[in-house]
Structure 1
Amino acid sequence: MCGIVGAIADRDVVPVLVEGLKRLEYRGYDSSGIAVVDPDSVRRVRRTGRVAEMEHAAVHEDFHGVLGIGHTRWATHGGVTEANAHPHISHGELALVHNGIIENHEEQRARLTSLGYVFESQTDTEVIAHLIHHHMSSGQDLLVALQAAVKELTGAYALAVVSRREPDRLVGARMGCPLLVGLGEGENFLASDVSAIISATRRVIFLEEGDTAEIRREGVRVFDGRDQQVQREVHVSDVSLASLELGPYRHFMQKEVHEQPRAIADTVEAVIDAGGFEPTLFGANAEEVLRKVKGVQILACGTSYYAGLTARYWIEAIAGLPCNVEIASEYRYRDAYADPDYLVVTISQSGETLDTMEALKYARSLGHAHTLSICNVPESAIPRASELVCYTRAGAEIGVASTKAFTTQLAALFQLTVVLGKLHGRVTPEQEAGYLEQLRMLPGSVQHALNLEPQIQAWAERFAAKQNALFLGRGLHYPIALEGALKLKEISYIHAEAYPAGELKHGPLALVDAAMPVVVIAPNDRLLEKVKSNMQEVRARGGELFVFADQDSNFTASEGVHVIRTPRHSGVLSPVIHTIPVQLLAYHTALARGTDVDKPRNLAKSVTVE
């Protein structure tokens, strides 16, 4: 969702702010703006729509400055208007940008209105700007005023603030939303994502919950929630500029779909190099923890939730442990039963997904002692809050629709499954060797599936005119049907639903007619004959079938039945292979319909609000 970038330097920071906002576009937004401090005022430019429109306005208005902040907004409080766009200014002298949601904003708005403050927007963010200004009016400096103001806020926030009164520093605060400090030479930065400042520096400090920070040209100070100065570790980011560029591809989604063989290979590299599935993949004390757990509770949202659903089949069948999978935003608000002997596994691409983070906190409050996170972003909030960690090594994922993050999550969850199976005596050395060989072959099998793109593109031309679609799968492949339906609706805006194929006759069959394409995930496994029976139900009602089958499945294309064969059946890792064609189908259908593939309407990459 929303993105923040701030800079203080001896050079003009406007190009830094604009470039940073462009690199944050992938997070999802509907307006953008920058503010710079000059000797006499705080200047601001805001626009709805793309960053390029705001950039054009900044050039036209001759924006320059050595201290400034920028923001991309995804509307929560108030509509998509220029008045609601960030930065927000108080009394012409203080500018602020904010990610997150302030839950007590109405109470604070009423209080500030009674003190004479006039509100120009419908946002919760403007409340924070006026609140900080109110504290400065009582004689506090900018940093102290910020520290006082955040103590009066309830909710989640990442803040960057500048003031005309203090043109030599930038201040920030973090609670529940990511914020980091970038360290340069004679210049320093503040950002919600390292990609925003990667062209200026790779040295970063990840702020922790409750931290505030003061950023000057000559140095940085960080304070904890008690306003005591603390030292936070400096990290060197391994995000590459190449991963943030399109290269020869038309869209980031297409690029990231094609990066999956490499991403999966990187994710499983440690297992392959070790010649086996070792508990140390997840941390130094992982063997002690994983050996004594009696079950697994998975918490995730969106695509990550579907990865968890796939893992449930693996964990119960291979490791012999009970496994529950829940949507994090539901789990955190119900009176859940907690077994302290269960391992809580959270899955998040960004490591900052608010619902998942809060669900993890809730699980721990219920008595869950053992936690493991599967994440793509080192040092993000969820891994830091977890006992054990597995990084998926997918590299930067820019497209809003998750692709390589999903398949690498599956690879990581499979590794966890086999480790649990070994420690609980369910996986023999011979079976482990077999699973290792399947992992070794997986990147090549994914590449073979990518080679089906021309055939899938031809299907997409037929899908482009449709308004609805059904996806069917059974067993391990039902979550892949769910993922295929999600991808299609996310980026092509075609309404799509997924069902276990056996449920077709219990209701969804009423929707089937010649206008309703039905996509079937039909691998050559023990449920194949059952899936064929479900397909006959569709054909008997005049439905058109689009079947993703394995190379060794006995399927014949005919009128109303279209078949594309993926590589030979890949056993328990077959869901990873069958993910590729449904991703490509969604991508090329969206392309044919002319939608914004990388930035679908109303959606954001990193969801840091409820």
Structure 2
Amino acid sequence: MCGIIARIGENGAVDELMTGLRNLEYRGYDSAGIAVANEHGIEVRKREGETDALHALLSESPIDGPIGIGHTRWSTHGRPSDANAHPHTDDDGRVAVVHNGIIRNHDRLRNELVARGHEFESETDTEVVPHLVAASLDEGLDPEDAFRAAIERLEGSYAIAMIAEGYDAVYAARSGSPLVIGLDDDATYLASDVPAFLEFTEQVVYLEDDDVVVITDDGYRVTDLDGAALDRSSEVVDWAAGDAQKGAYNHFMRKEIDEQPVALRQAIEGRIDDDDRVDLSVFPNGELAEIDDVVFVACGTSYHAAMYGSRLLRRRGIRSTVARANEFAYDPLPVDEGTLIVAVTQSGETADTLASLRAAVGTDARTLAVTNVVGSTAAREADETLFIRAGPEIGVAATKTFSSQVAALALLAERIADEQEAVPLPVADGGLDRSQLLADLRRLPDAIESVVASDDALRLAERYRDADSYFFIGRGVGYPVALEGALKFKEITYDHAEGFAAGQLKHGPLALVTSNTVVIATFTGRNDEQTIHNVQEAKSRGAPVIGIGPESSTAAREAVDEYLSVPDVVPELAGVLANAHLQLLAYHAAELRDRAIDKPRNLAKSVTVE
């Protein structure tokens, strides 16, 4: 959840630390702080609130030094406050620490340290770390060995960075939370995510669980928990610095909605050959022929993309189920050697999804990560990885990654079907027209560009801004789109929004429908007549209905009060286009309410704690 940045090199560190914190604010914005090492020792500045509050504090009380660490917090232990903000220090201010994760045995460690005379100033789990280090320093250990001794005492998940008085180094370790090194000629960086330092360098080193790193002016040294040297080579990320900046946009979310045509092109490019065969180089030919069923595990928006992908597989005659990752890890489905477990996670660091992935270890099932981040934990731990190629996504509300995930899963479904020579239902019986699907998949970027450019949702956001509730309904692939539309709406507007399978409306939710409940119905071109019946049930209770569906669907258009059209594509892909309208509807509704669109309350982008 939280964001870590560290920097060591020539000149002052504060400006670059602040840039890193601003770039990481999507990971947490309850409080922020930095600590630098200089001739005076270690100086700390931290403040409750967003990074602007910290910037104001630094203007009033400046500090400087060539070595520093910074942190932007998403609260887990202790309310947002100046005292609970990171960095945390020991009693004498000899070391300063920033931390992402949860230290599960912090109560026991705190009690032990208090009994030894240590005084604590915060409610956080993190503060035990500098005190543990200080206790080892008192026993004569140097900072690196003291840091290792502290790490060995911790239970839970963590990414930790530390500086020590009188030492020109940053000490760090990770277990269950991401850390990546950035290499430049004049400085070396450490962060929770690449966008933190992307405008300074594109040369990165991804750290793995149980890595301990020491960063100095001379570079970096990585060892395991026992001190044995590890080889962690560098690579160049293919993201440009501008990809992680808003540019002329007011919000990252709107920028990333508009980037969907490019993201989809990148997701599809080079993966469909001239003979209409799907080429996913991650799988050698024939490797998927023996897969009997596919089990998706995911959370949030990725869960909705997984639901969408599961329906595409079932259309191709392949058994598929979807499980919420935060349940699968503790209540797993039966799997065997014919099972492919697909972990869908934008960041590749989602704690619940990683737990589900690890639950498959020791079984005969194969695992596949569908993720956006090269070098992520999911990419390293799964047997295979399918990258969605969406580029960096900064807005907390996922947009372009959902579209790219669905496109990647559509390609996966076709690849599995090809290898198994699966026989879909006849088109007349609701089956799949494969050649048309691939043709429409190729033109999906242009189709979604036309939806985004039209932006007809603004007028409807204004018209229905005073509604009490917003119900999203859909059938088939329209159902996960309804869930995703409701999720986007509630997380950035803070208004009540729910998603339902269209047929579920009359099994309870209809009792909540009034003339001040807006119903948003997704039509895909398949089974629309049943969805129209559900729309009529809502309208008969006085609810205004917005329809989103194919341009040519006269029946759907006539059944609703307002209609947002999408280009005609096969039903399997119509949901991706409808979802762009729903993203814009949520965006404009939030803007009209003056919400913090990129940083909605209580939420963070990367959920790295369970």
Partner in structure 1 of residue 234 of structure 2: 234
Matches within 5 A, 1:575-594: 575-594=575-594
Q: Indicate the larger mover: 118-127 or 1-10.
A: 1-10
Q: Indicate the larger mover: 186-195 or 530-539.
A: 186-195
1:231 aligned partner, one-letter code: D
Q: Matched residues in 1 for 2:53 and 2:445: separation?
A: 41
Partner in structure 1 of residue 565 of structure 2: 565
TM-score (normalised: structure 1): 0.96
**What are the superposed Cα offsets for residues 553-589 of structure 1, whole Å, 9 maximum, x if unpaired?**
1247679722222222433211111111111110011
Partner in structure 2 of residue 306 of structure 1: 304
Q: Matched residues in 1 for 2:466 and 2:210: separation?
A: 50
| Partner secondary structure for residue 538 of structure 2 | helix
Q: Matched residues in 2 for 1:452 and 1:563: separation?
A: 13
* CA separation of 1:296 and 1:560: change in aligned 2, threshold 3 A: closer
Following superposition, the deviation at residue 288 of structure 1 comes to: 4.3
Native 8 Å contact 1:186 1:218 kept in 2: no
Following superposition, the deviation at residue 9 of structure 1 comes to: 1.2
Partner in structure 2 of residue 358 of structure 1: 355
2:476 aligned partner, one-letter code: G
Partner in structure 1 of residue 428 of structure 2: none
Following superposition, the deviation at residue 492 of structure 1 comes to: 0.6
**What are the superposed Cα offsets for residues 512-563 of structure 1, whole Å, 9 maximum, x if unpaired?**
11111111112322x1111111111111111111111211112476797222
Partner in structure 2 of residue 164 of structure 1: 165
Q: Matched residues in 1 for 2:273 and 2:241: separation?
A: 28
| Partner secondary structure for residue 364 of structure 1 | coil
| Total equivalences in the alignment | 602
Native 8 Å contact 2:458 2:585 kept in 1: yes
TM-score (normalised: structure 2): 0.96
* CA separation of 1:19 and 1:472: change in aligned 2, threshold 3 A: same
1:305 aligned partner, one-letter code: Y
1:391 maps to 2:395: no
* CA separation of 1:252 and 1:186: change in aligned 2, threshold 3 A: closer
Partner in structure 2 of residue 510 of structure 1: 511
Following superposition, the deviation at residue 289 of structure 1 comes to: 3.2
Q: Matched residues in 1 for 2:465 and 2:594: separation?
A: 9
Q: Matched residues in 2 for 1:345 and 1:61: separation?
A: 50
1:323 maps to 2:324: no
Native 8 Å contact 2:9 2:186 kept in 1: yes
Q: Matched residues in 2 for 1:565 and 1:433: separation?
A: 24
Partner in structure 1 of residue 442 of structure 2: 440
Partner in structure 2 of residue 147 of structure 1: 148
1:449 aligned partner, one-letter code: V
Q: Matched residues in 2 for 1:274 and 1:116: separation?
A: 72
1:146 aligned partner, one-letter code: F
Native 8 Å contact 1:551 1:569 kept in 2: no
Q: Matched residues in 2 for 1:251 and 1:358: separation?
A: 32
1:14 aligned partner, one-letter code: V
Following superposition, the deviation at residue 341 of structure 1 comes to: 1.6
1:4 maps to 2:1: no
Following superposition, the deviation at residue 165 of structure 1 comes to: 3.4
1:256 maps to 2:253: no
| Partner secondary structure for residue 125 of structure 1 | coil
Following superposition, the deviation at residue 259 of structure 1 comes to: 0.7
Following superposition, the deviation at residue 323 of structure 1 comes to: 0.8
| Partner secondary structure for residue 195 of structure 2 | helix
**What are the superposed Cα offsets for residues 358-387 of structure 1, whole Å, 9 maximum, x if unpaired?**
11001224x043111111111111011111
Following superposition, the deviation at residue 275 of structure 1 comes to: 4.8
Q: Matched residues in 1 for 2:257 and 2:275: separation?
A: 28
| Partner secondary structure for residue 482 of structure 1 | helix
Native 8 Å contact 2:360 2:367 kept in 1: no
Q: Matched residues in 2 for 1:474 and 1:431: separation?
A: 19
Q: Matched residues in 1 for 2:231 and 2:444: separation?
A: 43
Matches within 5 A, 1:479-494: 479-494=480-495
2:114 aligned partner, one-letter code: T
Matches within 5 A, 1:392-471: 392-426=388-422, 432-453=434-455, 455-471=456-472
Structure 1 runs not aligned, ≥5 long: none
Q: Matched residues in 1 for 2:367 and 2:11: separation?
A: 45
Q: Matched residues in 1 for 2:559 and 2:300: separation?
A: 35
Following superposition, the deviation at residue 186 of structure 1 comes to: 4.3
Q: Matched residues in 2 for 1:451 and 1:44: separation?
A: 47
Native 8 Å contact 1:552 1:569 kept in 2: no
Matches within 5 A, 1:153-302: 153-166=154-167, 168-272=168-272, 275-278=275-278, 280-283=280-283, 285=284, 287-302=285-300
1:388 aligned partner, one-letter code: E
* CA separation of 1:333 and 1:556: change in aligned 2, threshold 3 A: closer
Q: Matched residues in 2 for 1:221 and 1:195: separation?
A: 22
2:190 aligned partner, one-letter code: L
Native 8 Å contact 1:177 1:608 kept in 2: yes
Following superposition, the deviation at residue 187 of structure 1 comes to: 2.5
Q: Matched residues in 1 for 2:489 and 2:155: separation?
A: 37
Q: Matched residues in 2 for 1:560 and 1:364: separation?
A: 49
Partner in structure 1 of residue 427 of structure 2: none
| Partner secondary structure for residue 282 of structure 1 | coil
1:17 maps to 2:14: no
Partner in structure 1 of residue 339 of structure 2: 342
Q: Matched residues in 2 for 1:153 and 1:208: separation?
A: 17
Partner in structure 2 of residue 108 of structure 1: 109
1:225 aligned partner, one-letter code: L
Following superposition, the deviation at residue 432 of structure 1 comes to: 5.0
1:67 maps to 2:63: no
Following superposition, the deviation at residue 431 of structure 1 comes to: 5.8
Partner in structure 2 of residue 478 of structure 1: 479
**What are the superposed Cα offsets for residues 476-511 of structure 1, whole Å, 9 maximum, x if unpaired?**
210000000000001011111111111111111111
Native 8 Å contact 1:377 1:391 kept in 2: yes
Native 8 Å contact 2:487 2:497 kept in 1: yes
Q: Indicate the larger mover: 569-578 or 256-265.
A: 569-578
1:217 aligned partner, one-letter code: D
Native 8 Å contact 2:474 2:482 kept in 1: yes
1:33 maps to 2:26: no
Partner in structure 2 of residue 50 of structure 1: 50
Q: Matched residues in 2 for 1:282 and 1:247: separation?
A: 35
Following superposition, the deviation at residue 274 of structure 1 comes to: 5.7
* CA separation of 1:506 and 1:269: change in aligned 2, threshold 3 A: same
Native 8 Å contact 2:522 2:575 kept in 1: no
Native 8 Å contact 1:307 1:410 kept in 2: yes
Native 8 Å contact 1:289 1:370 kept in 2: no
| Partner secondary structure for residue 475 of structure 1 | coil
* CA separation of 1:557 and 1:336: change in aligned 2, threshold 3 A: closer
Q: Matched residues in 2 for 1:142 and 1:340: separation?
A: 48
Following superposition, the deviation at residue 279 of structure 1 comes to: 5.0
1:189 aligned partner, one-letter code: Y
Native 8 Å contact 1:452 1:581 kept in 2: no
Q: Matched residues in 1 for 2:417 and 2:256: separation?
A: 31
Native 8 Å contact 2:307 2:322 kept in 1: yes
**What are the superposed Cα offsets for residues 35-66 of structure 1, whole Å, 9 maximum, x if unpaired?**
01122321111111111110121122121111
Matches within 5 A, 1:94-133: 94-133=95-134
Following superposition, the deviation at residue 182 of structure 1 comes to: 1.7
Q: Matched residues in 1 for 2:555 and 2:250: separation?
A: 34
Native 8 Å contact 1:263 1:394 kept in 2: yes
